Each structure stands twice: as structure tokens, then as C-alpha cells.
Amino acid sequence: MTHSASPHSRPLDAIPEMPRRPGSARATARRWLAQGSAWLALLVVVLAPLPFGSVEPAWVALWCAAMAVSLLLAGLPALSRAQTGILLAIIGVYACLLLAVALQSLGTPPDALRLRADALLAGAPGATSSQRHPLSPADLGSSLLFVLAFCRLFLLGTDEAWSRRVFRVVAWSGLGYALYGALSFAFDPSHLLWRPKTAYLGNLTGPFVNRNTAATYFGAVTVLWTILFIAAIKRGSAGGLTLSERLWLALSGRDAGLVGLLFGALLCLGATAATGSRAGFLLTLAAVALTTLVYGRIGLGPLRRHPWLVAGGGILAILVLEMLAGLVATRLHLIGLDDEARLDAYQAGFGLVALRPWLGWGLGNFEAAFAAVRPEAAGLTGVWDRAHSTPLEWAIELGLPFAVLLGALWLWLLGKLLRSGWRTRLPVIIAGGVVGLLGTLHSSIDFSLQIPGFAVTFAALTAIGLAQATSTMKTRSETIGLRGRRRRRPDNARPLGRPS
């Protein structure tokens, strides 16, 4: 039996396509490019610590190229006046660095120190004073990577969801590196990744070569996990639990989520202690205490009502320090807090600054300049291819004007972060401020910020913190506002500790 076709029916292939809105395909492409750009930048932040701290020029070049591509593909978000000012200030100071390097390349007449060294060595056959080496792309690579990473993560951090995502990804990747470091230190301490380990055989260094840089990195990650733990306790507070009940759930193991967060914080703190770095571990303890003070805001009232918490916390802290900080305690007992060789080297470095205060000795020329004034104490122990003080090395290589300019800009940005973190109690801002303070203080007596693997992480956390600190948004993802008042929370916001 056949049916005649309805005059209103038509074959499927004859149905016309729905007209697309003009520009919808282009908008979709731009959105996908922006997403890919963001994930590329985040991938660099995660992987930069892995290949031995990315100290080799090839890795620096790769990360610079990736960050540059990410910046080119990223759309420019709407920026507040303060955010625009921060970006322009960072770019302006880097332009000043390039200007200083250009002026240095014009050449400077030999100073009295170099003339005296040449005179003393004139009678020795084949002996010459250390000479200035020509500028290479590697000398500018680390600073360029820092600026690219900071600018890209600052733009990404203007989006609140992405700032929290960067926070969590850095926390989890740092935990992974701490776990790798612990397993490697326990079962194969003679190797660092795929290479034989030639230094710090008795210390945990994770993916880094230097134990002090590793301590600062794991200390920064400890701060992140401390914030996640406190955030989980605060969520319990919103459910009506008291302080003692929340802490009891964490310490008794009855809340798996709290136990996991506490484990993450203690593992990263243990990795910091196992590096054997005195300054790194002590500054990490101070950073954790500052984080608890600013974000926890527990105050003295609950502690007076629950004295057993104070006693129990003190006993737990002593046990943790006894178990985890053996290497640090040994070094403090043998060496103490001060280091005579380093102090003598600093004094010699100040002498170099006095000889060339305006333009310095040239970018990347610290080792050559320091060889002429190296004190005997520094010659007996330690490697002095760096000044072991980043601000001092800036002044030696680039001159006092640039070092003062860069230092003033960074202290201004750091102060803005710390003030905003205290005022708002937002986790991303607190993390940026505390990690910024930790890295700044440690780099004043060492060179952790000159290691690209840590510098990228440092730039990422401080950049997203500054982006949120200068945001004009009126609503935040934090549930509890200043002085315990509830603040309005957008419908699509999630707590920091939960995946989006």
C-alpha cells in the first residue's frame, strides 16, 4: 500500500540549515584561543620547576616562547586603573633594565681595581685578570621569563575563577613535587631525576639542584596548603561547629577531607625541613604563622576558653619539629644563624658597588668581578658564581639607580598585597602576599628568585594576588567578610578547596 507524499513534506536534505548569527564562529574561535592560552600559561607554571629548576638556557628559552605565545593569544580583559598602572610599571622597569644594559654595552673605562690587578699580574707569564664576558641572550632570559610570566598570570588573575584555579593547580603540583622528593630521598638519594646527584646528597631537593631554592619553593606550597586547611575549617564554622569541634575532627581523623588537607600541609613542611636549609625552614615557619594569623583570625578569646588547644598545639609543634627538622637543627647547632664567609662576601660586594655605583659591572658579570675581591673566608667554602643576595647582585651588575628603582617598585607592590590581604582575608591575595614576603626575604640572603623554576611560581602567585587585590569587583567567593560579617556571594562561586 502506497501513500502519497504530503504536499507540505520535503526530503531531509532539502531542509535549509538554521542561519548562524554573524560572528558566532569567530567568537567561538576567540573563546577557544583564550582558553588554550590560559592553559598553556598554567602548564608552564606547573612544569617550570621540574627540569632541575629550569636553570639551563634551553628550558628558559622554551618557557619564554610558551609564555609569549600565551600572551599573544590571550585577549585583553577589562582592567581597572590600578591594574593598568601595575602592568605599565612592570614593563617600564624592564625597559629601564634594557636601557641600562644598552649603556653598559657602550663600554666603560677600566677602574682602579682592574688597573691594579693588571699591574700585579704583569710579571706572571700567562696570568690575566678576570675579564668581562660579552652579554648573551641567557643573561636576559631569566628576567624576561619573569616579566612574561608575571604579565600573563596577572591578566589571567583578573578572572576570579582562573585565579582560584591557578592557586589550586600550584598547590597540587607542589604537593606532587614534595612527594617525589620524599620518595627519591628515601629510595634513590644519589640521583636527581635522570641524572646522578652531585651535590646535597644528604638533603632533599625535589626537582631542584639547590637545597635553599627547594626549601623556598616547598615553603611557598606549604603556605597554600595551610590556607586550604584553614578554608576547610571555616566552612565547618559556617555549618555551626565550634573551633574545638572543627580541630578535633581534623586531629582525630574523623573528617577525611580535613585529614587530607592537613597531610598535604605537613608533607610540604616536612619537605622544607628535609632540605636542611636554615633560612628556608625558619622563614617557612614564620610564613605559616603569618598565614594563620591573617587568614585564621582566631584571636585570643577562643584560645583562653580552650587552653588544651594551646597545650596540645604546642606539643604537636614540638614533635613535628623534632621529627622533621633534624637536618636544620643540626646545621643551626654546628653553624648557627650567621655565616662569616657570607658576611665577608657581602662586604666585598658592597666594595664592588662603591667602585661602579652608576652602571655596575655588567649584567651577568658578578662572578668575573667578584673574583678580584673574593675574601679568604669565601674562598674556603661555598660556590660564589652568585652573590647569595639578589638585591646586592642587582646593585653590583646593574648599578645602584636600577637596583633602587626595582626594589622600590617591588616593595610598593608587596605592601599593596599585604595590606589588601589583611583587609579582605581573601585566600588568593593572602597567598600572594605571604609567598611574596617569603621569597623576597629569602632572596635577600640567597638567590632563590634567580632560579627560573621558583621565579615562575613566585611570579604566578604574586601576580594573581595583585590582580585580585586591585579588582573592582564587589562580590567575592569568600563567605565570611570583615569582622565576621557575612558578605554576598555570587551564585556560581565555589569554595577555594573544592574543584570547579
pLDDT at 78: 83
Q: What is the pLDDT of residues 236-255, one digit of tens each?
A: 655 555 555 666 666 665 66
Separation of alpha carbons 279 and 285, rounded Å: 10
pLDDT band with cut points at 50, 70 and 90 for residue 485: very low
Establish if 411 belongs to a structural domain. yes
Question: 193 is written with which cell numbers?
Answer: 631525576
Sign for the CA dihedral angle at 198, 204, 205, 210 comes to negative
Rg (CA), the chain: 27
Tell me, rounded to whole angstroms, the distance of Cα 496 from its chain centroid.
19
pLDDT at 308: 55
> In 85-236, where do the E strands start and end?
191-192, 195-196
Q: Does the pLDDT at position 112 exceed 70?
A: no
Q: What is the pLDDT of residues 321-351, one digit of tens each?
A: 555 555 555 554 445 445 667 788 888 889 8
Establish if 311 belongs to a structural domain. yes
On whether the CB atoms of residues 27 and 426 are closer than 8 A, the answer is no
In this structure, of 243-247, 257-261, 357-361, the range with the lowest mean pLDDT score is 243-247
Establish if 76 belongs to a structural domain. yes
Establish if 318 belongs to a structural domain. yes
Establish if 125 belongs to a structural domain. no
> Residue for cell digits 500500500?
1
Number of structural domains (the chain) is 1
Predicted TM-score (pTM) of this structure: 0.81
Q: What is the pLDDT of residues 152-195, one digit of tens each?
A: 999 999 999 999 999 999 999 999 999 999 999 889 888 888 88
Q: Does the pLDDT at position 23 exceed 70?
A: no
What range does the domain containing 268 cover?
Answer: 33-112+138-484
Q: What is the pLDDT of residues 429-467, one digit of tens each?
A: 999 999 999 999 999 988 899 999 999 999 999 999 999
Establish if 382 belongs to a structural domain. yes
Mean pLDDT in the chain?
78
How far is the CA of 1 from the CAs of 4, 6, 13, 220, 355, in angstroms? 10, 15, 25, 80, 107
Largest Cα–Cα distance in the chain? 118
Establish if 281 belongs to a structural domain. yes
Separation of alpha carbons 317 and 309, rounded Å: 12
On whether the CB atoms of residues 185 and 178 are closer than 8 A, the answer is no
Separation of alpha carbons 387 and 384, rounded Å: 6
Q: Three-state SS for 79?
A: coil
Establish if 497 belongs to a structural domain. no
Burial class of 233 by CB neighbour count within 10 A (0 to 12, 13 to 18, 19+):
buried
